[in-house]
Structure 1
Amino acid sequence: MKDFINKLYRNHSLIYKALLFVSTTFLIVYLFPKSGKFKYNFEKGKPWQSENLLAPFDFAIKKTTDEVNTEKKAIIEEAVLYFIVDSIVKPKIKNDFENSFFEVFPDSIPTKQLSLLKQVGHDILNELYQYGILNEDYNFSEKRTVAILEERTKIQDALFSNLVKQSQVSSIIDKVLRSNNLIEYKTAFTSLFFDLVEPNLTYDKSFTEKVIQEELDKISYTRGSVAKGTLIISKGEVVEGDKYQKLESLRSEYESQVWNESNYNWVLFAYALLVALAMLMLLLFLRKYRNEVYENNTKVTFIFFNIILLIFLTTFVVNYNSKYIYIVPICVLPLVLKAFFDARLGLFTHVLTVLLLGFIVPNSYEYMFLQIIAGIVTILTVSELYKRANLFISVGQITLIYIIAYFAFFVIHEGSVETLKWETFIWFVLCGLATLFVQPLIYAYEKLFGLVSDVSLLELSDTNSKLLKELSDKAPGTFHHSLNVANLAEASANEIGANAMLVRVGALYHDIGKMKNPTYFTENQSTGINPHDELSSRESAQIIVSHVINGIEIAKKNNLPDRVIDFIRTHHGTSVVYYFYMKEKERLDDVNRDDFSYPGPKPFSKETAILMMCDSIEAASKSLKEPTSTKIDDFVESIIDKQIEEGQFLNANITFKEIQSIKKVLKYKLANIYHLRIEYPE
């Protein structure tokens, strides 16, 4: 049992990756649509490239979106409008008219004339309330059919033009009076009815909309059907018109049909296989080309997390409304991975993610082409992400590529630009704006996963930071040495394509451990007193070596990232404090070399190897007397060759060609530092 536990512990990293691989695969499959995939690809207006297609089962032909929308529009525009009549108003108005008539028309008017006027007043009321008076002006077509309800019971039908608007009351009074040759009484009747007339019709919006919705629900989304075995399309025929609609209907039916338990399990199994293959390719890529990332479980988890996040966002948008699919900022993935790792890993992961998204999105080929091209543009254009202008320029270029590619696809599909959906360009612009969110996202990832981006490195390279100011105060010589090493290391990194910002920051902090005992290091001995004179060689060597351990402690206390602490650990590798080692050998014959060696580890990256070379060269260059070009060349060659002989660079992925390039840069830089001039003959 103990051996089994020990074996598990030794392989815990591999076990974790296996669990991460399996859980990621199942989570992605869970997000995928649980249906089959139509095995034929076709485009409207293009020839059918596959064999003759017969209907595999009976299915209905779906109406096009335009057909359905036309039917809906017709139902909405022709729907009956329902108005509720207040049955109390009309009798009340007639009663009020009887009571108010003689107040307006005096008894001095002849009885016959008075009787005629009263009858005309009743005619006006009947005209006004034949259908009713609206309580407000409604903006409906005059030809719309209207149903008038009393206590939810329809009492009469009419046209909307039959209903009286309040603004029409005066004209109706005028019309009735003219027909009876009593126009001279218009002022009196208008005055009378001004106080009497009340609206009695109210539009019942909720009931009307309910009836309309019932009619909309009755719409059939299919027209006709295709029987099993019927020829749908022959090879070489152009996919258009009814044939296109039949193919669309078959694809929709095939992908949305209800699966039995056996088919459902097979579909899940097939999806799991494809997703597992994609994730396996990513792991194999990491193991072969990015082993330092593969060995770090946090970094592997970070990459898998970003893939799951984008697939989740895309699935969410597709389920909500697939027309917004291009708002999802897929290019955030290569941006983030390039910020923390490198361009090659970012592009490889981006392509795999887009391939997986092809199972989710409509028009998968078009989508994948657009996103892969956009990812390539992202990798090619985004450099020095810590410079804000660069990100804005790159996002603008990515958005432009989206628009150009989408425009090309649309013209290929439709053959013209007349029906171009300009709103899609707005989605691309919104996608670009969402991509700008990468900056705060990178900051959040740094805190969550303990990673370091160029943005953080830029902040750490500020010599006014608390830790570097403390170094300049306590150990000014060391601080000046670190600045010189940083300049040499940055130039060397640029020469071979390494991370110049990372190596510069590493150089600035690599000797912070010397703050604990600054006067024991020659660059800080300004008084001419050397405290090593009072110590044994072994004690002196221990103090010198301990600056690495002290530096690591100070760095951790100040929350420096692990990638920066790596430079403190490795900048001396496993080399020997040669001066005190040889001094001890003069005193004793048997000296343990390990007592005078740094604990290591050896440099394990190009950047840490560069720092080791530059640190040794800069420190030793102080001993050069009357330097010449030849002396500097020999000096650089001897120091770096000695490090190679000691095997200090065996774990670093740096080539001899790159080392030669670094030597060349260091020779040139030292020559400039010592202001060497060409000696002209007298």
Structure 2
Amino acid sequence: MKDLVNKLYQNNTIIYKVILFLLTTIAIVYLFPKGGQFKYDFSNGQLWKYDNLYAPFDFAIQKSEEEIAIEKKEIEANAKLYFNFNSSVIDEVKNAFNRRMILFIENDSLSIEKINKLKRNGLKTIEEVYKTGFLEVISQDRVSNKNELVAIRKNNVVEDVLFKNLYNSSEILHIIKKNLGSEPYSKEQIKVLDILAEIIKPNVIYDSDFTNKIIDTDAKNISYTKGKVSEGELIILKGGIVEGKKLEMLNSLKSESESKVWTDSNYNWIILGYTILVALAMLMLLLFLKKYRVEIYNNNNTVTFIFFNVFSMIFVQTLVIKYNPDYLYVVPLSVLPIVLKAFFDARLGLFTHVLTVLLLGYIVPNSFEFIYLHIIAGIVTILTVSELYKRANLFISVAQITLIYMITYFAFSIIKEGNASKINLDYFMLFAANGLLSFLAIILIYMYEKVFGLVSDVTLLELSNTNSKLLRELNEKAPGTFQHSMQVANLAEAAANEIGANSMLVRTGALYHDVGKIVNPMYFIENQTTGVNPHNDLSPRDSAKIITDHVIKGVEIAKKYNIPDRIIDFIRTHHGTSTTYYFYVKEQEQNPDTKVDIKKFQYQGPLPFSKETAILMMCDAAEAASKSLGKPTAQSISDLIDKITDKQMADNQFINSNITLKEIETIKKVIKKKLMNIYHLRVEYPE
């Protein structure tokens, strides 16, 4: 049991990666569409590159979304409008007229005959107005063609009438006057006219709810098919152009095939297929990290970060497709390479982006177009996005990425359609939105720095500010060390630029690599301005301990000031496992009869594990050693640099760094040139 626990402890990083790998694979497979994949890839206007295709079974030819939309619009345009006929209004108006006439009779001394005549004319007017119906004002403009039939609902009975037969407000006064007789009117007739004009009100109202209900019912009854293909019927010949009816049959066959594939009997097989494909992609990512990015692979935090970003992009793209596939290209997949390049490097960013796009090919329509477009955009992202701490750079890069999206889509469109007139301009708006959303990379980079403890160029720029709190303290307490760090930073930055390493990272690391000397600044020669050397009062072993402890103290101080781990790595590794040779020799001289343990005079490491940390080790040793040259010459500097570098290589200090001999030689040349410039030297030519 104890052995098992020990093995688990020793292999905990591998176990973590296996669990992360499995969880990510399962999560991505879960996001995949719940349907099979059609085994043919095609698009409008392309040649059919497969063998002759015959219908494997009977299936209906489905109408396109455009055709269905047109039919629905036709239903709406030709739909009969329904109006409610309110019969109770007639009784209300008649009762109101009778009441008003009683008051009218009481106040006027008219004969019974005249009163009855006025009353008959009034009731006749009411009957005529409501015989077909009186439209409310807001319903009068519902129909443009007045000869159109509309449906009138009277007590659940529907009757078709011509719209022009329904009275509107402008016709009511004419009907009243017609029934009252010829003008000029008497005082009594005018009063009746006023009463009728006041009490007559609309009783026919447009019923939008019922009309829409009928339209919806008719729309639901639309046939979504327009023909049938029988089993064995030829669909398309090899080399034929996918267009017209052939395209319709292929789309219908694809839809029918995918719905048939996803059944209970083969559900597990399809899941297995998806799992294998996703697992292979994620495995390739892990193998890439293990072979080419060992420092990232060995750090579970960074591996988790990369896997999380891959899953996040697939998750967001899946949500958009489920919501509306038309918004497919609004998802800014270029954010992935931008973020990964900001924290790691371009090669890893592009490799991860390509794998992510390939995985998304399973869930997007027109997968070839999607994959090609996004891979090209990803390459442009890697080539253009650099130095994110310069705000203008991201704006320029996003503009270039957006332009590439548009150009590539334009090319695909004219290939499909054969001309530029049918290009969907909405996609250009989507690409513009994609570009705007790409600026989210800045926010994500900031968030990831806080959550995952990573470091971007923006943070490096902030840390490299010599007015930062820790660097100010270094300058105040150990001014000689501060000047040394500045010189090393300049050397390291120039060397990194020359071999294509991360110059901003190595410069920042160089500025902080000796912060541990703040603790005992006077024990380091660059800070001894009084001529007093405190090492004279110490044993060589104690002196060596103070010297080597500046690495440990530096790590502690950096953590106290919340310096990121990537910068602390430079503090840990800038001496590797080298020896404080001066004190080691001195100890041997003082104790000639005793075997001196060299480990007591060595730094504890670790060794440099990247190009950047290797550059710092070389530049730090070179700059410090150059101060020991009494009268530096071009030759003495060159010999010194060769000697230091050869010793470091002999001690295997660069064995864990992915740095080549050619790059080491290039770095040496840069250091020599820079030191000669510092000491204002030039190569002496023979006479």
User: TM-score, normalised on structure 2?
Assistant: 0.93
Which letter maps to 1:406? Y
Pairwise CA distance, 1:489: 0.8
- What do the CA deviations read for 1:319-350 (whole angstroms, capped 9, x no partner)? 11100111111111111111111111111111
Distance in 1, matches of 2:343 and 2:232, equals 56
Which residue, 126, 141, 165 being the options, matches 2:143?
141
- What do the CA deviations read for 1:536-586 (whole angstroms, capped 9, x no partner)? 221111111111111111112222221111111111111111222222222
Pairwise CA distance, 1:110: 9.2
Partner of 1:128: 129
Distance in 2, matches of 1:292 and 1:679, equals 43
Which residue, 351, 354, 368 being the options, matches 1:351?
354
Which residue, 629, 637, 640 being the options, matches 1:632?
637
Which residue, 603, 628, 633 being the options, matches 1:598?
603
Distance in 2, matches of 1:678 and 1:236, equals 71
1:422 aligns with 2:425: yes
Distance in 1, matches of 2:211 and 2:296, equals 64
Identify the range of structure 1 (418-427 vs 231-240) with the bigger mean alpha-carbon deviation.
231-240
Identify the range of structure 1 (652-661 vs 205-214) with the bigger mean alpha-carbon deviation.
205-214
Do 1:44 and 1:244's aligned partners in 2 also have CA atoms closer than 8 Å? yes
Partner of 1:619: 624
- Cα distance change on mapping 1:238 and 1:671 into 2, 3 Å: closer
Distance in 2, matches of 1:316 and 1:364, equals 17
Partner of 2:540: 537
Which residue, 278, 287, 296 being the options, matches 1:284?
287
Partner of 1:576: 579
- Cα distance change on mapping 1:441 and 1:183 into 2, 3 Å: farther
Partner of 2:27: 27
Alignment: residue pair count:
679
Partner of 2:59: 59
Pairwise CA distance, 1:614: 1.1
Distance in 1, matches of 2:465 and 2:14, equals 39
- Cα distance change on mapping 1:402 and 1:188 into 2, 3 Å: farther
Do 2:573 and 2:605's aligned partners in 1 also have CA atoms closer than 8 Å? yes
Partner of 1:655: 660
Do 2:514 and 2:571's aligned partners in 1 also have CA atoms closer than 8 Å? yes
Which residue, 289, 302, 307 being the options, matches 2:305?
302
Which residue, 530, 552, 562 being the options, matches 2:565?
562
Partner of 1:268: 271
Can you give the 5+ residue segments of structure 2 that lack an aligned partner in the other structure? none
Which letter maps to 2:627? K
Which residue, 649, 665, 680 being the options, matches 2:670?
665
Partner of 1:475: 478
Do 2:150 and 2:163's aligned partners in 1 also have CA atoms closer than 8 Å? yes
Partner of 2:77: 77
Residue correspondence of structure 1 range 171-570 to structure 2 within 5 A: 172-173=175-176, 176=178, 181-182=182-183, 191-257=194-260, 259-570=262-573
Identify the range of structure 1 (479-488 vs 417-426) with the bigger mean alpha-carbon deviation.
417-426
- Percent identical pairs in the alignment equals 58
Which letter maps to 1:655? T
- Cα distance change on mapping 1:670 and 1:360 into 2, 3 Å: same
1:92 aligns with 2:96: no
- Cα distance change on mapping 1:648 and 1:44 into 2, 3 Å: closer
Pairwise CA distance, 1:199: 2.3
Can you give the 5+ residue segments of structure 1 that lack an aligned partner in the other structure? none
SS of match in other structure, 2:132: coil
Pairwise CA distance, 1:108: 8.6
Identify the range of structure 1 (69-78 vs 568-577) with the bigger mean alpha-carbon deviation.
69-78
Pairwise CA distance, 1:14: 2.1
- Cα distance change on mapping 1:635 and 1:189 into 2, 3 Å: farther
SS of match in other structure, 1:314: helix
- What do the CA deviations read for 1:157-212 (whole angstroms, capped 9, x no partner)? 324443334355345546x369x644767976653333212222333322322222
Pairwise CA distance, 1:422: 1.4
Do 1:137 and 1:165's aligned partners in 2 also have CA atoms closer than 8 Å? no
SS of match in other structure, 1:148: strand
Distance in 2, matches of 1:656 and 1:122, equals 113
Do 2:361 and 2:371's aligned partners in 1 also have CA atoms closer than 8 Å? yes
Which letter maps to 1:286? L
Which letter maps to 1:340? F
Distance in 2, matches of 1:420 and 1:101, equals 71
SS of match in other structure, 1:147: strand
- What do the CA deviations read for 1:495-554 (whole angstroms, capped 9, x no partner)? 111110110111111111111111111222223222222212211111111111111111
- Cα distance change on mapping 1:677 and 1:23 into 2, 3 Å: closer
- What do the CA deviations read for 1:292-320 (whole angstroms, capped 9, x no partner)? 22222222221111111111111111111
The RMSD of aligned alpha carbons is 2.6
